[in-house]
Amino acid sequence: MLRSKILIALVSSALLLSPLTAHANNYISLNGNLVDGRIYMPLRAAGNEMKANIDWDQKTKTATLTKDGITLKAKVGPFVKLFDGRVYVQFREVSDTFYNKEQIIWDKSSLIASSNHFILNLRPLKDDEVQKKMTAAIMNNKAAKAFFEEMPNDYNTYIVYSGLDKLTAKFSVEYTDSKGDNYLSEIEGVIVKSGVNWKVTSLKQSKVDMLPPH
């Protein structure tokens, strides 16, 4: 059974652990979309978490979000989107309207956007899906499989995105062998979107000597 930890590469080392977990008690965590360089959030899900009033005018295709006497009207069009029948508004619009234009931080390597009130996950693959694809590719590669089976099973998984259709995943572990020697073992894979599917296009493994812990 796999017992790895999944870590997302972030700009701040203080937020190395996935922010969706690290700040779950303080932030509204949602899945978003990235379209033409703009970050969108689901209006109804955001409104429910904000404890705002939500109205929908089917005739005009306009959603209204009201909280503390402040109202945001979102009419479906160029900058208000419908995804799977749900209204999505720009993260910036919600932030500027209800939270005094607070700063939005965008980390392109993790595809995470955040402010003082929201964390939006824009990753096209779930972290466990990345891990499953990596493991399957390793099991189908003789050299990688042999290397993997020699690694301790408490490795970490690091995921770094290069846009919405490519990512690099790495299984990494530091350990001490039975002789007392210290090593860093890693398997790195590149996963690329091809059509509607994601495929591991390359694998490489490495093992290097490490200085003993101080």
pLDDT at residue 3 in the model: 47
What is the count of structural domains for the chain?
Answer: 2
State the average pLDDT for the chain.
88
Residue at which a domain ends, from 58, 89, 121: 121
Do 189 and 168 belong to one domain? yes
Say if residue 55 is in the same domain as residue 78. yes
How far, CA to CA in Å, does 114 sit from each of 71, 101, 103, 143?
A: 22, 13, 8, 40
Domain with residue 186: its CATH number is 3.10.450
Q: How far is CA 175 from CA 71, 91, 121, 135, 147, in A?
A: 55, 43, 32, 20, 14
CB 38, CB 79: distance < 8 Å: yes
Q: Convert the pLDDT of each residue in 132-182 to its tens digit.
A: 999 999 999 999 999 999 999 899 999 999 999 999 999 999 999 889 999
Q: Are residues 135 and 48 in the same domain?
A: no
End position of a domain, from candidates 87, 121, 155: 121
Q: Which residue segment(s) compose the domain that 66 sits in?
A: 8-121
Q: Clarify whether residues 54 and 70 are in a common domain.
A: yes
- Side-chain half-sphere exposure of 165, counting CA atoms within 13 A: 5
- One domain for residues 117 and 137: no
Judgement on whether residues 94 and 133 belong to the same structural domain of the protein: no
The pLDDT confidence band at residue 27, using thresholds 50, 70 and 90, is confident
Query: Within this chain, do residues 132 and 205 fall inside the same structural domain, yes or no?
Result: yes
